[in-house]
């Protein structure tokens, strides 16, 4: 039970980051398609379920083999760097503090990231299990306070872009922590993997449905850097900033742990550089620019990351079948 809950919270915590909680990511991949965005969200349920189930079902030796591939590391690291940069950028925009306090907060974040690189799953799991339920609860309450039950939304000409962007959103968010999800799946049975995959997909899509509705009810907010901050009234903005900070941290820690698994065997210095130093430098491009321009590019790279995993998994299955046939002869 504890393993299932921890895996579920890790998956959800990875997806619900600053792009999701601020609304910017939802606008780029869903809301801009008007009422067709709901078709994309419906398709996302199936996309998430099959991708999560696939990742949870990967064998440990398959993950180790693919992680040693230089081409996989280049694509996977590029996606993770872009995502981590978005987290750092959102933290900088959300922390309306005096400069000395802001510096102290970032030093604390760097310390926690370094701790995850050093200690691994134990620290990462404890942080996620504590923060993710708080994030979900507060964000759902905020959405409920601003939900108007108005479904008269604008419609774009074709539904196909909404479905395509839904697929891109799925692979972008799933691939950046593919190694983490796969490693957590080693402790689950086949039935547990299917249940965790479905429950995580269902909860994410349900939250996304209400979040998308709130965005479409407030068309003027779609061009904002952080749309929900322009929608929610005064005291709710303060609460949302707090939630965005927490969401940025859970996703950032997941990405750091992903680097910990992928790169620590090669060099801990490399893992630290790619998971903390480089994303922090890239974050100065700005949160809005990263989500609007770099994340769609990262989603294409994510297709290649999942393609590598799928190809290696098929190869492993064919080798296993060949060995079984030889034993039976």
Report the distance separating Cα 89 and Cα 284, nearest Å: 7
Q: Which residues, in sequence order, are CB contacts of 264 under 8 Å at separation 6+?
A: 117, 271
- Encode pLDDT of 207-243 as tens digits: 999 999 999 888 888 888 889 999 998 899 989 988 9
Q: What is the H or E stretch that residue 278 is in?
A: helix 278-282
Of 49, 32, 20, nearest in space to 210 by CA:
20
- pLDDT less than 70: residues of the chain: 1-2, 62-63, 66-68, 96-101, 117, 119-124, 149-158, 260-269, 271, 320, 322, 324-329
Q: pLDDT value at position 194?
A: 93
Report the percent of the chain where pLDDT is more than 70: 82
Distance (Å, whole) CA 69 – CA 75: 10
| Tokens 């750092």 sit on residue | 88
3-class DSSP string for 179-240: HHHHHHHHHCCHHHHHHHHHHHHHHHHHHHHHHHHHHHCCHHHCCCCCHHHHHCCHHHHHHH
pLDDT tens digit sequence for 56-98: 988 777 667 766 677 777 777 788 788 788 888 887 777 765 6
Sequence-distant (6+) residues with CB within 8 A of 267 are: none
Q: The dihedral of CA 158, 49, 53, 211: what is its sign?
A: positive
Query: Running DSSP on this structure, what letter comes out for residue 34?
Result: B
Which residue bears the tokens 């609304």? 23
Q: At what angle do helices 190-216 and 37-56 cross, to 10 degrees?
A: 160
**Contacts of the segment 151-159: beta carbons below 8 A, 24+ positions apart:** 151/35, 151/213, 153/34, 153/35, 153/216, 153/217, 154/34, 154/35, 154/219, 155/34, 155/35, 155/36, 156/32, 156/33, 156/34, 156/36, 158/36, 159/33, 159/36, 159/39
pTM of the model: 0.85
């Amino acid at each position: 039970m504890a393993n299932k809950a921890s895996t579920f919270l890790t998956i959800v915590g990875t997806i619900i980051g600053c792009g999701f909680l601020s609304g910017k990511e939802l606008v780029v991949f869903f809301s801009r398609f008007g009422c067709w965005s709901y078709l994309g969200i419906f398709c996302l349920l199936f996309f998430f379920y099959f991708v999560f189930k696939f990742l949870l079902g990967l064998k440990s030796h398959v993950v180790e083999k693919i992680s040693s591939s230089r081409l996989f590391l280049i694509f996977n690291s590029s996606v993770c760097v872009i995502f981590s940069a978005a987290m750092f950028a959102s933290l900088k925009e959300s922390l309306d503090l005096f400069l000395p306090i802001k510096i102290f907060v970032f030093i604390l974040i760097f310390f926690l990231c370094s701790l995850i690189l050093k200690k691994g799953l134990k620290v990462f799991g404890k942080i996620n299990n504590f923060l993710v339920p708080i994030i979900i609860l507060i964000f759902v309450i905020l959405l409920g306070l601003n939900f108007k039950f108005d479904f008269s939304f604008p419609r774009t000409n074709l539904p196909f872009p909404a479905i395509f962007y839904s697929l891109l959103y799925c692979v972008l968010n799933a691939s950046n922590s593919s190694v983490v999800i796969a490693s957590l799946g080693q402790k689950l049975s086949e039935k547990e993997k299917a249940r965790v995959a479905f429950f995580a997909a269902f909860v994410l899509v349900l939250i996304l449905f209400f979040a998308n509705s709130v965005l479409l009810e407030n068309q003027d907010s779609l061009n904002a850097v952080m749309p929900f901050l322009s929608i929610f009234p005064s005291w709710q903005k303060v609460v949302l900033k707090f939630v965005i900070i927490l969401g940025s941290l859970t996703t950032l820690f997941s990405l750091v742990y992903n680097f910990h698994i992928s790169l620590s065997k090669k060099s801990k210095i490399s893992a630290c550089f790619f998971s903390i130093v480089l994303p922090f430098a890239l974050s100065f491009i700005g949160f809005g620019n990263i989500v609007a321009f770099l994340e769609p590019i990262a989603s294409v790279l994510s297709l290649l990351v999942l393609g590598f995993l799928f190809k290696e998994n098929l190869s492993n299955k064919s080798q296993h079948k060949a060995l079984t046939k030889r034993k039976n002869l």
